[in-house]
A = this chain, B = another copy of it.
């Protein structure tokens, strides 16, 4: 029944995955979800505060823990989550797995799509939960944890749906031998690898986790979701809804378990090193990411740190460029993995339709554009959001004191609605190409570095080197010269960094659209995997073919 109900959604998603044109199953505008939804969602969020989160269908509980604090109010959410023994998590996943594996892929796809439809009904409560754990603005929380995340989950379901049906489940093989024929009946089975572990981060607890969760599930594997202890609620809601739908379809909710821990007693390594855990999806810092990648006998998908570059060569309208880039810098205070950090501008200036703009003028235009956002009460709070982690604020302070020329100092930004919000304006520094000790690293958070280069070739060389050595998830470039366009694209693609050219207006380098943009290429140190290419799916199972002599 569910199969028929959702076949159209799945077929559309499969088609979109291939064509890579614009497609969204879940509209990104909050208004698409009905008039009552906002109030209902806020109410739902509030009803969860200051009490145990009891929606999970996990019953063998060792204790309760919770340490989330809103970056907007500085108040604890007061929610505790059940903790479970690691061995118990493994045991329950193993028990749940066989029944799931036996369901045909079309059925698995429809049940998982049903769970997305269920999640859709809770987009607003999830948005509030995201806002008050990650510090994202409400709009970003809504879009990133709601429709955008659901679309990326659907993308993974659809890719699995295609890949698992790539070969005939049964086939006859007839080899002509002259006077007779040898006939074998063959079957081809996609055998799931085993328990998946999805390790979440504190800034995008849903968007970065659901691709791995749904990829594990569609390929027939049970999954254990280990959220960051400071950003549990959003994904806890999602996991509880997946569990509900699994149970409603006669399956064990233990196919998708939440494994909550606390900062003082982390279980991530213990979980990762379980022999029964065969697949790990990880989003977070490079040091732990490299550890996870090094674990023997595991299939590992990572998104780690990177240094995203902006190469500015020439532009029609430099003001439009700088406004676009300023927004990218301000958006969620540079806490997106796609946020630009290093801005390479030639000392000789930037050619524009209105003549060459000098380096200093260009720097000033970026500064003004950022100031325009952070001093605009209608834009500042909604764009910057809040800083998820105090450590990020400290990094901004430390970097400001490092001795580089301060173009724009970071300062507290008022949020009228949340006076205690941890919100600061971006720090902009100007450095020389020789100051690699400053810009040759990810400076996570609201920090932008303008690097003065000899010329665009020099900019390209440095941006390429950064991506190669330290990874890059995005690169923005501005040029009106087709030869330079090609040069930049070739150089950055060579180190497996994608380039976005000449973005102005309502489209930003930070955005990666499901069904069209691969998120992270997997080819440089910023991560070894990509949302969602085939590799992200097919490494989670093994094709096994069996043969039987026909009429034997």
Residue A487, interface by CB 8 Å: no
For the complex, what is the distance from the CA of A530 to the CA of B21, rounded to whole Å? 32
Stretch of A133-141, A383-391, A514-522 on the interface side:
A514-522
Residue A504, interface by CB 8 Å: yes
Does B549 contact A502, Cβ atoms closer than 8 Å? yes
- What number of copies of this chain does the assembly contain? 2
For the complex, what is the distance from the CA of A538 to the CA of B536, rounded to whole Å? 11
User: Contacts A167-B18, A186-B516: A496 and B544 contacting too (C-beta < 8 A)?
Assistant: yes
* Cβ contacts under 8 Å, A507 to chain B: 175, 182, 184, 549
Fill in one digit per residue for A532-543: 1 if any B CB lies within 8 Å of its CB, else 0. Answer: 011100110011
User: Contacts A20-B167, A501-B549: A173 and B513 contacting too (C-beta < 8 A)?
Assistant: yes
Residue of B173, B504, B533, B539 touching A516 (CB-CB under 8 A): B173
Residue of B21, B167, B316, B535 touching A535 (CB-CB under 8 A): B535
Residue A404, interface by CB 8 Å: no
Residue A354, interface by CB 8 Å: no
Does A193 contact B547, Cβ atoms closer than 8 Å? no
Chain B nearest CB: distance from A493 CB in Å?
5
* Cβ contacts under 8 Å, A543 to chain B: 518, 521, 530, 533
Residue A288, interface by CB 8 Å: no
For the complex, what is the distance from the CA of A539 to the CA of B543, rounded to whole Å? 16
Does B521 contact A171, Cβ atoms closer than 8 Å? no
Chain B nearest CB: distance from A134 CB in Å?
25
* Cβ contacts under 8 Å, A20 to chain B: 167-168, 171, 173, 186, 188, 545
For the complex, what is the distance from the CA of A517 to the CA of B544, rounded to whole Å? 9
For the complex, what is the distance from the CA of A534 to the CA of B494, rounded to whole Å? 23
* Cβ contacts under 8 Å, A552 to chain B: 316, 501-504
CB-based nearest B residue for A539: B535
Residue A291, interface by CB 8 Å: no
Residue A120, interface by CB 8 Å: no
CB-based nearest B residue for A476: B547
A157-171 contacts to B, CB under 8 A, are 163, 166-168, 171
CB-based nearest B residue for A478: B552
CB-based nearest B residue for A184: B507
* Cβ contacts under 8 Å, A522 to chain B: 542
Residue A87, interface by CB 8 Å: no
Chain B nearest CB: distance from A499 CB in Å?
5
- Other than the known A22-B176, A193-B523, A498-B547, what 10 A-B pairs have Cβ atoms closer than 8 Å? A20-B171, A20-B188, A22-B173, A175-B507, A485-B548, A496-B542, A501-B549, A504-B552, A518-B545, A522-B542
11 A-B pairs whose Cβ atoms sit less than 8 Å apart in the complex:
A19-B171, A21-B173, A21-B174, A166-B534, A173-B513, A186-B517, A193-B523, A496-B542, A497-B544, A501-B546, A517-B547
